[in-house]
């Protein structure tokens, strides 16, 4: 109630009514008092004027005793004190006291006024009578000369009594009017604030979640319109809320039922949201609000989250947790500074891959011995057989070589896939490596009449890597360059660029058509099948190269133009 609209308006209203009543009381009282005094003054003036003809002859003849008797007689008749004073202030006659005993009246304000203005009036306390009095003084003139002053005075006691009665009456009336006003204001304000109170309690119910609340008001005023809008609003909120709850339930059921582990980390790395699958992966039910590294204690996972937070970009990584394999994707939400983690179980795919790989390795191993035997017999037949047999033996030997190459490449690829990032890491001097590899190709280069150039930048740093694999990579690239170049030259360049070492293999060969460039790193992908077969290609060389580059955390790009040449650029971190 203390700060309600009602108390504010009603309080101000009470204050205004009180102030107005007090002002009206005060001014009406003053007006009445002044009016009363001025009417008595006028009456006294008339009485004074009436006395003048009787007083004048007595004054002229200096019959002061007779004057005093006249004054006393007239004063008692008209119930008014009459005093006659000479121009010097000496009292000549007085209706209520002995004039001889009275002090000089020259300085009385009404006397001074009468002498200067012709008439004087003043209300003050009388020292003679010891009461408040109203005085009116009039000069008595003879031949333009003031010979005395007649002063008439009445007690103001009656006026005071009258005024106090009047005051009480006015006060009573004012009180009644005020009461009526206040009761009226109270009823009016109550009727004004009641609907507002209703609306307010309705709003409080809505705020506490009760959207069934309605406010019904009578009338057609603005508050009624407000109540109607309120009812409309609660209807809309209700339907919106229902829709939202439905959507939330839907999302929740999808969220909990998906078999991918799902979690959201806040800016401090706390798990603020997670589904059942994530809890299963973490093998912990109570993970909400815990830090991610407390829940999943895995070095690779920790690094993944850290990198995503630092670089503010999305990353995916394969993880092994409790004997299962997962593809963990971390997505950075820039607006909220949060990370969304999704764990997809890839154990089955991984197992299938392993079965496939094992199968390829086993088949390759099993094929190697019979293929070597066939090649041996074909060679013997080539040497010892007749001309016809020699031709067949040569075809058998060429195809056996191709099969042996395929088997070797398949074994290499399987081995690379198996080892993945667990390659040997040692210091590799790329210049020494290049010198060794070039030696393998010397005779083929001379045979084909191709120029070769090795460009090594001064101060080329030593890199960390698997020497055997890097050698394999260079062999495959140079082998292709020699295979697919008929004239011109081959350049091998080694340079340092920022924090990487660039290995560039450039040739002036047949080139690769643009539409094939994207696919040449796929297994068994060849541009021209017959040419590749003729040249002993397997279609696996570049897949092996790409695997080796990726396992060294490097990148490979290829540029080529038909009949002009091809350039492979490999960037490895150093
Ligand atoms: P292949 O054993 O057939 O050479 P690769 O995987 O090494 O298989 O290469 C895939 C295909 O890419 C090749 O068949 C060939 O068409 C093309 N290619 C690779 N290197 C070059 C090159 N330096 N010049 C022209 N074509 C090339």
By alpha-carbon position, which residue is closest to atom 12 of ligand 1? 520
C-alpha 343 to ligand 1 mean position (Å): 38
- The per-residue pLDDT for 427 is 95
Is 83 in a helix, a strand, or coil? strand
Q: What is the CB neighbour count within 10 angstroms for residue 36? A: 17
The residue whose CB lies within 8 Å of the most ligand 1 atoms, and thus the one to mutate among 517, 526, 564, 569, is: 526
- The per-residue pLDDT for 28 is 82
Q: What distances in angstroms separate CA 532 from CA 106, 133, 187, one per listed residue?
A: 151, 144, 105
Exposed (0-12), middle (13-18) or buried (19+): which is 322, by Cβ within 10 Å? exposed
Atom number, ligand 1, closest to the C-alpha of residue 537: 2
C-alpha 494 to ligand 1 mean position (Å): 22
C-alpha 520 to ligand 1 mean position (Å): 7
Is 94 in a helix, a strand, or coil? strand
C-alpha 434 to ligand 1 mean position (Å): 20
Q: How far apart are CA 37 and CA 25, in angstroms?
A: 18
Task: Please name the residue ranges forming H helices in 449-495.
Answer: 467-483
Residues touching ligand 1 (Cβ under 6 Å) are 480-481, 484, 507, 509-512, 520, 525-528, 532, 537-543, 566
Atom number, ligand 1, closest to the C-alpha of residue 525: 10
List per-block mean pLDDT (blocks of 10 residues) for the chain, which spans 574 residues.
73 88 84 86 90 91 92 90 93 92 90 90 80 90 90 84 83 87 88 85 88 84 87 90 92 88 94 93 88 93 95 93 95 94 95 90 92 93 89 91 91 82 83 96 96 96 94 97 96 95 98 96 92 85 95 95 97 94
C-alpha 480 to ligand 1 mean position (Å): 6
C-alpha 448 to ligand 1 mean position (Å): 18
By alpha-carbon position, which residue is closest to atom 14 of ligand 1? 526
- The per-residue pLDDT for 143 is 84
Is 289 in a helix, a strand, or coil? coil
By alpha-carbon position, which residue is closest to atom 4 of ligand 1? 537
Atom number, ligand 1, closest to the C-alpha of residue 409: 2
C-alpha 550 to ligand 1 mean position (Å): 19
CA dihedral 415, 416, 422, 427 (to 10 degrees): 110
For 443-564, list the strands marked E by DSSP. Answer: 451-456, 463-465, 489-497, 500-507, 555-561
Atom number, ligand 1, closest to the C-alpha of residue 565: 24
On whether the CB atoms of residues 93 and 99 are closer than 8 A, the answer is: yes
Task: Identify the bridge partners of residue 345 per DSSP, sorted by sequence position.
Answer: 326
By alpha-carbon position, which residue is closest to atom 11 of ligand 1? 526
C-alpha 490 to ligand 1 mean position (Å): 15
C-alpha 42 to ligand 1 mean position (Å): 138
C-alpha 526 to ligand 1 mean position (Å): 6
- The per-residue pLDDT for 347 is 96
C-alpha 358 to ligand 1 mean position (Å): 27
Dihedral sign of CA atoms 384, 385, 386, 391 in order: negative
Atom number, ligand 1, closest to the C-alpha of residue 505: 23
- The per-residue pLDDT for 1 is 46
Instruction: Name which of 558, 540, 432 is nearest 504 in CA terms.
Output: 558
Buried-exposed string 238-265: b where 16+ CB fall within 10 A, e elsewhere:
eeeeeeeeeeeeeeeeeeeeeebbbbbb
The residue whose CB lies within 8 Å of the most ligand 1 atoms, and thus the one to mutate among 410, 448, 473, 520, is: 520
The residue whose CB lies within 8 Å of the most ligand 1 atoms, and thus the one to mutate among 441, 479, 480, 486, is: 480
Dihedral sign of CA atoms 286, 291, 294, 300 in order: positive
By alpha-carbon position, which residue is closest to atom 2 of ligand 1? 537
DSSP 315: E
C-alpha 289 to ligand 1 mean position (Å): 54
Q: In the block, which residue shows the tokens 């390795």? A: 361
Atom number, ligand 1, closest to the C-alpha of residue 507: 23
Domains delineated in the chain: 5-162 (3.30.450.20), 258-345 (3.30.450.20), 350-417 (1.10.287), 426-573 (3.30.565.10)
Structure token digits, residue 218: 């009578």
On whether the CB atoms of residues 59 and 122 are closer than 8 A, the answer is: no
By alpha-carbon position, which residue is closest to atom 7 of ligand 1? 541
Atom number, ligand 1, closest to the C-alpha of residue 568: 23
C-alpha 536 to ligand 1 mean position (Å): 11
Q: How far apart are CA 344 and CA 339, in angstroms?
A: 16
By alpha-carbon position, which residue is closest to atom 25 of ligand 1? 511
DSSP 510: S
């Amino acid at each position: 109630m203390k700060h309600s609209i009602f108390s504010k308006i009603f309080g101000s209203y009470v204050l205004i009514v009180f102030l107005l009543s007090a002002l009206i009381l005060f001014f009406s009282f003053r007006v009445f008092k002044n009016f009363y005094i001025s009417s008595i003054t006028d009456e006294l003036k008339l009485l004074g004027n009436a006395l003048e003809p009787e007083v004048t002859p007595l004054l002229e003849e200096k019959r002061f005793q007779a004057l005093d008797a006249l004054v006393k007689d007239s004063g008692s008749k008209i119930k008014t004190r009459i005093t006659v004073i000479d121009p010097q202030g000496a009292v000549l006659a007085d209706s209520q006291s002995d004039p001889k005993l009275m002090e000089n009246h020259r300085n009385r304000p009404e006397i001074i006024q009468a002498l200067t203005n012709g008439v004087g009036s003043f209300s003050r306390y009388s020292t003679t009578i010891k009461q408040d009095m109203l005085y009116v003084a009039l000069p008595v003139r003879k031949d333009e000369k003031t010979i005395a002053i007649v002063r008439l005075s009445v007690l103001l006691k009656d006026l005071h009594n009258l005024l106090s009665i009047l005051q009480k009456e006015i006060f009573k009336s004012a009180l009644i009017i005020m009461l009526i006003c206040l009761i009226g204001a109270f009823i009016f304000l109550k009727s004004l604030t009641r609907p507002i109170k209703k609306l307010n309690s309705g709003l409080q119910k809505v705020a506490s979640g009760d959207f069934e609340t309605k406010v019904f008001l009578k009338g057609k005023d603005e508050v009624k319109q407000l109540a109607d809008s309120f009812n409309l609003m609660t209807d809309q909120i209700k339907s919106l809320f229902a829709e939202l709850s439905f959507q939330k339930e839907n999302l929740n059921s999808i969220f909990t039922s998906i078999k991918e582990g799902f979690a959201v980390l806040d800016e401090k790395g706390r798990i603020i949201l997670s589904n059942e699958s994530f809890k299963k992966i973490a093998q912990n039910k109570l993970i909400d609000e815990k830090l991610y590294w407390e829940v999943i204690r895995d070095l690779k996972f920790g690094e993944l989250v850290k990198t995503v937070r630092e670089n503010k970009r999305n990353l995916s990584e394969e993880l092994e947790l409790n004997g299962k394999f997962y593809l963990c994707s971390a997505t950075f939400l820039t607006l909220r500074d949060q990370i969304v983690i999704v764990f997809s179980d890839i154990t089955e795919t991984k197992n299938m891959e392993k079965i496939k790989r094992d199968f390829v390795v086993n088949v390759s191993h099993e094929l190697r011995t019979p293929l070597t035997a066939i090649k041996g017999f074909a060679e013997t037949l080539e040497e010892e057989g007749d001309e016809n047999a020699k031709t067949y033996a040569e075809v058998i030997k060429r195809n056996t070589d191709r099969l042996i190459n395929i088997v070797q490449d398949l074994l290499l690829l399987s081995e690379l896939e198996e080892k993945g990032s667990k390659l040997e890491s040692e210091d590799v001097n790329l210049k020494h490596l290049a010198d060794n590899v070039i030696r393998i190709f010397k005779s083929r280069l001379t045979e084909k009449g191709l120029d070769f150039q090795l460009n090594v930048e001064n101060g080329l740093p030593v890199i960390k890597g698997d020497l055997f694999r890097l050698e394999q990579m260079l062999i495959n690239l140079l082998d292709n360059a020699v295979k697919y170049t008929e004239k011109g030259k081959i350049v091998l360049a080694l340079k340092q660029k920022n924090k990487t070492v660039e290995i560039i293999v450039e040739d002036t060969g047949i080139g690769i058509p643009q539409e094939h460039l994207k696919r040449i790193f796929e297994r068994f992908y060849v541009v021209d099948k017959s040419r590749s077969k003729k040249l002993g290609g397997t279609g696996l060389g570049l897949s092996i190269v790409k695997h080796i580059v990726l396992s060294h955390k490097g990148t490979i790009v290829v540029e080529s133009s038909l009949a002009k040449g091809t350039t492979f650029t490999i960037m490895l971190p150093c």
